[in-house]
Each structure stands twice: as C-alpha cells, then as structure tokens.
A = this chain, B = another copy of it.
C-alpha cells in the first residue's frame, strides 16, 4: 500500500497561509510549555489560572465576560468557577442589575495565591519570549492582533 506523498499547494497565498498556521501552532505550543510548568507546579490548570489572573487584573467579572476573556465554553466557565469556589479562592456574587448574572470575585485567599504566583509566571513568559528582541516582539504583536481581529470578524464558513 504505497502512499506517494502529495505536494502541498504551491500557489503563494495558500502555501504562505498554511505555513503561517504551522508556525503559529508551534510557537504557541513552545511558549505554553513554559507557562504550563509554573502553573501546574501550583496545582492549577491553565483555565483556573486564567480565571484567577483575569480577576486579579480586572477585578470582579461577570461569568460571561470571564468566558469571553479566557476562551473557554460556557459549561467550562461554570465548572472552573465551581472548582475555584470549592477551594475558597473565588466566590460568586449576585449582580444587582441583572438577576440572571453572577460576578466572580477573588477571595482574600485567592488574591494572595495569584499575587504570589503571578510574578514568577510573568517572568517565565518573558523568558520564553526572549528569543525575540523587544522591537520584534512589538512587531509580532501588531501582526497577530490584526490577524486575530480579522479572523474573529470573518464568518465561519460551513463546507
């Protein structure tokens, strides 16, 4: 059963886009491996850490806003907040203006934990990114911001 390899698309726009997709995947995976190391060493998952971090830097957030921010499903948000609540790191609070909504708020314990972990996390991200100089990082930010914004705006096309 021979499977002669098939050449990838040669037309420049498609070939370039595919290559960009590959390096995007690999770059994120490589950087994430560093980030994950210090998150998991604290007994947190990525999702849990993302929530603590968001609340730490933004203050109380409605679950829906949290969800958009951390890129997790709605069920996942409930699940993650449940777990953090059971550990006493976060609590839910009622929203005065909308009885359907709930705020997630850091407890004192949660604030202490993320306040302790975050600096080391920031440092390990800085280190993971250090293959690029500051100017290159800024250039990458500009490009990726455009890419992300435009791709989000584009409707997902069914086949």
Contact = CB atoms under 8 A, between A and B. Distances in A.
Nearest to A108: B1
Interface of A: 1, 3-9, 12-14, 16-21, 23-31, 33-35, 37-38, 41-42, 55-60, 71, 91, 93, 105-108, 111, 115, 119-120, 122-132, 134, 136-141, 143-154, 156-159
Contacts of A23: 140-141, 144-145, 148
A27 B24 contact: yes
The interface centre, meaning the residue of A8, A42, A56, A152 with most chain B CB atoms within 10 A of its CB, is A152
B8 A57 contact: yes
Residue among A56, A91, A150 with the most chain B CB within 10 A? Answer: A150
A152 B43 CA distance: 23
Contacts of A60: 3
B5 A59 contact: yes
22 contacts: A1-B93, A3-B59, A5-B57, A6-B57, A9-B122, A13-B126, A14-B122, A16-B141, A20-B141, A24-B28, A24-B31, A24-B144, A27-B148, A27-B151, A30-B148, A37-B156, A41-B158, A42-B159, A131-B147, A131-B154, A136-B143, A140-B143
Given A6-B115, A26-B71, A141-B16, A107 B1 contact: yes
